[in-house]
Amino acid sequence: MAANKSERVVVDEWRDILALARTLCELDRELHRHGLGASDFEVLDILAEGAAQDGGCACRVQELAARGHLSQSALSRLVARLEKDGLVCRAMCGEDRRGVRVELTAKGRARHAEVKPLQRSVLARMLNGPGD
């Protein structure tokens, strides 16, 4: 145990981590009905946010990995699944031939728009504390 943290603080932090794990499980359960997991939706959401901010809906795999919680290899497998389902497409980067860009397809934008309210609802329900 850290010398400058009380036992109560450490236990409270642990319980916060458990609450986040429960939130992830709940997201996975709710999103499964739409053929997505929490990590799948997170990638779609990052791509959709990019489209909303700068008009583009493509992002390098390295950028997705930096913004997300997955390793680059796990992210590559996830993107391959999303591509197989027609939700994203991959292409070589024009500015760096070693890089790969991931882009939302029309089907991916539609699925994201359909599922986003559900995902946000689960987050609000699970992460808002009592009385919030």
In a domain, 2, yes or no: no
Q: What is the pTM of this model?
A: 0.81
| Joined tokens for residue 61 | 């795999």
- The whole domain housing 85 covers 7-127
- What is the tally of structural domains in the chain? 1
Name the pLDDT band for 52 (thresholds 50, 70, 90). Answer: low
Q: pLDDT at position 34, please?
A: 94
**Highest mean pLDDT out of 63-67, 86-90, 95-99:** 86-90
Q: Is residue 132 part of a domain?
A: no
Beta strand extents in the chain (DSSP E only)? 58-60, 88-92, 100-104
Residues 127, 122: Cα–Cα separation, whole Å:
8
Q: What is the CATH number of the domain that holds 38?
A: 1.10.10.10
CA 62 to chain centre: 14
Residue reference for tokens 């504390």: 129
Q: Residue 1 domain-assigned?
A: no
Q: What is the pLDDT of residue 98?
A: 65
How far is C-alpha 84 from the geometric centre of its chain's CA atoms? Answer: 18
